[in-house]
Structure 1
Amino acid sequence: MQINITRKNAGISDSLRSYIESKLQGLEYRYQKIVDAQVLMSEEGRDNFVEISLHITGVTLFAKGDGANLRAAFDSCVDKLDRQLSKKKSRIRRKSLTQEEAILSGKLIAEERRDEAVEEEVGQPVLTFDPDEELDQQEERTGT
């Protein structure tokens, strides 16, 4: 992964640069498809702002954060990007379920119906999302 770090109106210390690179390498370790990262840091008065753009194959993720110092602002951005990457990865996993996996996991709800206007293969599964089921599962995990 290529990392480009820019700071407006000031330089970047070696310790800050290595901190940023290590955090972004941690994201790359969990999500291998990250191509490059753009980090823009700025200070306005007492406020510190950080913007990060992650380029993944076919997608660009963006996070903006602020904090008492640049490391805190950077950490808030990394947390936001981690959540975005987690959601993206779970969407990809859900879409890539095979028919057998869908049946075994209980995600297969209904068979696809043949549309008279469009020729389709009969018997293809339709995966649907039940928000109530997801809430029940989350409540079981958290114990609330």
Structure 2
Amino acid sequence: MQTSVTFKNLDPSENLKSYVKDKLDKFDRFLDNPAEANVVLSVEKFRHIAEFNIIGDRLKINGREETNDMYLAIDMVLDKLEKQIKKSKQKIRERRSDRKSGKAAAMDIEPGYIPEEDSGGEIIATTIDYKPMDPEEAVMQLDLSDDNFIVFTNSRTERINVVYRRNDGNYGLIQPAS
């Protein structure tokens, strides 16, 4: 981790600098990519203040502590930062697992909608089991569920169809062209 230590109202000390760098090197195990840490150590009257800003790996984490002892302030702020990093990493893992399991919200596409070429959105593929049934039965199944659409094999034509809820309260049927 690239670290810069700044001293305000305090004589620069190699001991404090090396202490901060040693502690921050332990954070590399939490971060996948290189990060940058900006540390400001200052003294105001009897208060010792440690401020840390860590930027990198899609994270921007800040922490600040005031105590009577500089080493204690550094340890306390690093504990806070560790909790913040773990929490952020957990959120990222949960978002990725939600995407992989197909829990993404279904899109409502209106008739005549043409997506922009440069929209930057992701296409998330999911697999769906579909059963043979009539379109009327598909509407009844849709009423029983909270879903916005149902994919099924039309028992009359033996082709895949989609029944969906429209914004006006009616139902739409999507059939392939012959």
Fold similarity call, TM over 0.5: yes
Q: Following TM superposition, by how much is the alpha carbon of 1:124 offset from its aligned partner in structure 2, in angstroms?
A: 7.4
In 2, the alpha carbon distance for the partners of 1:35 and 1:20 equals 15
Structure 1 residues 81 and 93: CA distance shift in structure 2, 3 A: same
Q: Which runs of 5+ in 1 are unaligned?
A: 103-107, 126-144
Q: Alpha carbons of 1:34 and 1:123: their partners in 2 closer, same or farther (altered >3 Å)?
A: same
Higher helix share: 1
Alignment partner, residue 87 of structure 1: 87
2:65 matched residue in structure 1: 65
How many angstroms does 1:98 deviate by?
A: 6.6
Per-residue deviation at 1:17? 1.5
Distance 1:67 1:123, change over 3 A: same
Amino acid at match of 1:8: K
Question: Where does residue 20 of structure 2 map in the other structure?
Answer: 20
> C-alpha deviations, 1:56-98, integer Å up to 9, x for none?
1333211111112111111111111101100111011111117
User: Which residue of 1 is the match for residue 78 of structure 2?
Assistant: 78
Tell which structure's C-alpha radius of gyration is larger.
2
Distance 2:24 2:55 in 1: 12
Are the counterparts in 2 of residues 111 and 123 from structure 1 also a CA contact under 8 Å?
no
Q: Following the alignment from structure 1 to structure 2, what is the Cα–Cα distance between the partners of residues 121 and 13?
A: 53
SS of the aligned residue for 1:10 comes to: coil
2:46 pairs with 1:46: yes
Secondary structure, aligned partner of 2:35: strand
SS of 2:9's equivalent in the other structure is coil
Q: After TM superposition, which residue ranges in structure 1, 4 or more long, deviate above 4 angstroms?
A: 118-125
Tell me the CA shift for residue 121 of structure 1. Answer: 7.2
May I ask how many residue pairs the two structures share in their alignment?
Answer: 118
Q: What is the alpha-carbon distance in structure 1 between the residues aligned to residue 38 and residue 124 of structure 2?
A: 44
Query: Gaps (5+ residues) in structure 2?
Result: 116-122, 129-178
Of 115-124 and 14-23, the range deviating more from structure 2: 115-124
- Pick 1 or 2: higher relative contact order, CA cutoff 8 A, min separation 6: 1
What residue in structure 2 maps to residue 132 of structure 1? none
Q: Which amino acid aligns with 1:68?
A: N
Question: In the alignment, is the contact (CA less than 8 A) between 1:65 and 1:77 conserved in 2?
Answer: yes
Query: Quick check: 1:115 aligned with 2:108?
Result: yes
Once the two structures are overlaid, the 10-residue window that deviates more, 64-73 or 7-16, is 7-16
Q: In the alignment, is the contact (CA less than 8 A) between 2:9 and 2:44 conserved in 1?
A: no
CA distance in 1, matches of 2:104, 2:98: 14
SS class of match (2:6): strand
Q: Secondary structure of the residue that 2:54 maps to in structure 1?
A: strand
Identity %: 23
Q: Is the 8 A contact 1:54 1:62 kept in 2?
A: yes
Could you tell me which residue of structure 2 aligns to residue 3 of structure 1? 3
- The alignment's TM-score, normalised by the length of structure 2, stands at 0.56
Cα distance in structure 1, aligned partners of 2:60 and 2:99: 30
* CA distance in structure 1 between the aligned counterparts of 2:44 and 2:65, rounded to whole angstroms: 13
